[in-house]
A and B are shown apart, each in its own frame.
Chain A
Amino acid sequence: MRVARVIPCLDVTNGRVVKGVNFVGLRDAGDPVELAARYDAEGADELVFLDITASSDGRETMVEMVAHVADQVFIPFTVGGGIRSVDDARRMLRAGADKVSVNTAAFERPELITEIATEFGNQCVVCAIDGRRRTNGEPGWEVFLHGGRTPTGTDAVEWSIRAVALGAGEILLTSMDRDGTRQGFDNELTRAVTDAVTVPVIASGGVGSLQDLADGITIGGADAVLAASIFHFGEHTIAEAKAVISAAGINVRTNEN
């Protein structure tokens, strides 16, 4: 049985969740532990924490946050943003993260993927890839770095194949064209990568409705779907998302045994 995962993504700076998370009834809307516990109770399958400061002085704060979350929330979670070395990865994993996500640093020094995978196993290395559809008339998607600011000229599908060969156990694939637009995933991009690699692919970027989540799986072929705003702003619960995905004929974890 293949079971799709629904993954809320939380942006963190200086140990606080930012970007207007707006749950009703939270004592402290910026508290990562309280938010993580809330998503766990709602049935989130995993969590992703993205450190958007990624400055060296913010690093220890992030390690402390990871430890606090791991003390109280017992679902898998990934930490990304600013992981540049095996030491960075080790600190996050020792603090209680299950996986680390690498992006720009891995593109600039691909051995980083192999180094982390060799020490901790492929299953804990997520390669995050930000792809943008080529606009010069050529087909395909180009890898962008630094949160979508820096073009590389490299094909996103080729980089995903290489990242898996280097030891990545999962691909977190974000469409920079769709990110923030609420127009749905770029399902052609997702499909191109899921057809090319043997590891699970998480689709990201552009979710505006619950049907978008289902489409990412049925059309894009994603193994997991990641979203931020539709959950954070209280528009939809995880349970509502799973009901729509399930209605599309896809297996999801429910609270019923």
Chain B
Amino acid sequence: MTETLQARPDRRPLVAVLDYGIGNLRSAERALEHCGADARLTNDPGLIAAADSVVLPGVGNFGACMRSLHAAGLADLAVGAAGDGRPFLGICVGMQMLFGMSEEAPSEPGLGIIPGAIRWIPAGVKRPQMQWNQLSIGDAHRGDPMFAGLGSSPWLYFVHSLHGVPEDPADIAATVEYGSTLNAAFRRGSVFATQFHPEKSAAAGLQLLTNFVGVSRLVNTDG
């Protein structure tokens, strides 16, 4: 069986931004709209199932976000979407929730989509890292379509006190230097996830989201 992927550049792909009621989730929706998506901040299972791609945003505390995600009935849907081959993007705490656990809330299991743990940024630097920082994209990930047009060391905006440490180092797509080397972006199958906030990272962030909208436009014509 052959899979055919066909680009339809005229189409605004439907991007479901999972809405579980916390803080500023609208920024991701607005930035994706700006980048050419039909983005919907939603908790509607039907809409999420119909979407071309799915985004899991998040800010604040890992445990509070996980509880809200479960309360909104979206945890299983997120796991399903991350495993069904559609492009999936996790942002900040939305990225962290893809891991198995976090030292910030050890009693609250994560979604377990990326095997590994969220660990505190090693002591000796201010926490949170609340600043722009320059990515180092891993050699094996330079060709990832999510990094297209971004240059060799783009500036992105970070707000975090913990970072992801995957069991498989091959999942690490990019790192950043902040006292030590921190993992800043991840790729595992159809899942891409960023510790930084592309929706708040000016032109570089919008380029990355445009890339995500672009891969969301590739539709599997074998259905």
Contact = CB atoms under 8 A, between A and B. Distances in A.
Interface of A: 1-5, 40, 45, 70-72, 74-76, 93-98, 119-124, 169-170, 198-200, 223-224, 253-254, 257
Interface residues of B, number: 40
B27 A98 contact: yes
Contacts of A224: 131
B127 interface: yes
A243 to B, nearest CB: 16
A76 B60 CA distance: 15
Contacts of A123: 59-60, 128, 130, 159
B200 interface: yes
Nearest to B25: A94
Nearest to A123: B159
Nearest to B130: A200
Nearest to B30: A71
Given A1-B177, A120-B23, 10 more contacts: A2-B125, A72-B34, A74-B34, A93-B24, A94-B26, A119-B23, A121-B64, A123-B59, A169-B128, A254-B155
A45 B132 contact: yes
Given A71-B30, A257-B153, A257-B155, A5 B24 contact: no
B189 to A, nearest CB: 27
Given A76-B200, A121-B61, A200-B126, A1 B23 contact: no
B42 interface: no
Nearest 3 pairs of A and B residues by beta carbon:
A257-B151, A121-B60, A253-B132
Contact of A96 (B26, B130, B155, B178): B26
Nearest to A76: B200
